[in-house]
Amino acid sequence: MTYFADLTPYTYLERHDEDGHGASDEPLLNVGWLDASHPFPTGAPPDGLMPALTELATVRVRQTRGYHYCEICVRDMGEDAMEAIRQGVIVRESAEFEVRGDDVAYAAPQLLLHYMAAHRYLPPAEFCAAALLSTT
């Protein structure tokens, strides 16, 4: 998958509004675009964050035609990674979701939920706060 540092401007795929007709005016920032070669923050998520993100992630945006596999799992499994991919053990996803904040939106890969659950990835505080407010 493509790596982007957290809170950098989103540039991966073309962005459309909810009607599919052009881009929104609010800035779109990257969150959770991890790979195996870059360190990332870890820790316990705020209470309620995983259920909130699970709900938000049901609205897939920018669906791709191929899959992205968790590069961290691939790295950690070493020689067994290809067999794990064939057996469906290594998580894969093919879309993004967005979280709306105050005058900003955050683009996250669907793999974000896996990164948090399996690898203890801790997203930036402002993203967490926006996700918690989006589902209340």
pLDDT digits (tens, 9 = 90+) for 6-43: 999 999 887 655 544 345 678 999 999 999 999 999 99
Q: Give the pTM.
A: 0.86
Comparing CA positions, the residue from 30, 38, 34 lying closest to residue 9 is 30
> What is the chain's length?
136
pLDDT at 50 over 80: yes
Cα 54-103-32 angle, rounded to 5 deg: 40
